[in-house]
Amino acid sequence: GQQVMQIPQYQHVQEGEDFTTYCNSSTTLSNIQWYKQRPGGHPVFLIQLVKSGEVKKQKRLTFQFGEAKKNSSLHITATQTTDVGTYFCAGPQGSGYSTLTFGKGTMLLVSP
Amino acid sequence: DAGVIQSPRHEVTEMGQEVTLRCKPISGHNSLFWYRQTMMRGLELLIYFNNNVPIDDSGMPEDRFSAKMPNASFSTLKIQPSEPRDSAVYFCASSLEKETTEAFFGQGTRLTVV
């Protein structure tokens, strides 16, 4: 079945440093979504990318969808302690839109 | 809207007991999902309902797990009998099926089976 892999599993940065997490799918995706889960919390939707090569920005967060629609990345510029959490990518399971296969996530720790 | 509401937030039970987790999706959403999250396996989809009908239950671990959605505003996930390896956080999520299928997650139920 479809697999969604994320690297790294864990990253610890100093506040102000940049951070990037990468997501790779075993199959071509119709779209990819990113979620953030704070410690003790629940996943919260950040963004969806649909088009090949698409780049979207949310303040200090930059999301990219690969040309082949099999990989994606999330880059955070100048991390802050509020960025702490686990970042998940998720892709549709099968041909439908509805069900999502989540990556294992990248846990980000930011030290002040 | 209050979002997806799950109960209880925490459940501690003894091995062999029946456990029922409850979920109220966001009003108007027609898709509902149950996920299980553990450190080892991450977020796993257990079952997916669309318009109250189970569409994909291939993620349900075994016969001890069952899920129902008797109406558009309520779903349950039942484990009987429970085992220590079922200890995890169980999330319910709902969405409105369309091109942007943003999933809205509940706060989760942390289940501990001792």
Give the separation between CA A61 and CA A81, rounded to whole angstroms.
14
Residues with Cβ within 8 Å of A96's Cβ and at least 6 positions away in sequence, in order, are none
**CA neighbours within 13 Å on the CB side: how many for A62?**
9
The B-side interface with A (CB below 8 A) comprises: 31, 33, 35, 42-43, 45, 48, 50, 55-56, 91, 93, 95, 97-108
A30-43 pLDDT, tens digit per residue, is: 899 999 999 999 99
Could A100 and B50 be called an inter-chain contact, meaning their C-beta atoms sit closer than 8 Å? Answer: no
Query: Which DSSP state fits B63?
Result: T
A48-75 pLDDT, tens digit per residue, is: 999 999 999 999 999 999 999 999 999 9
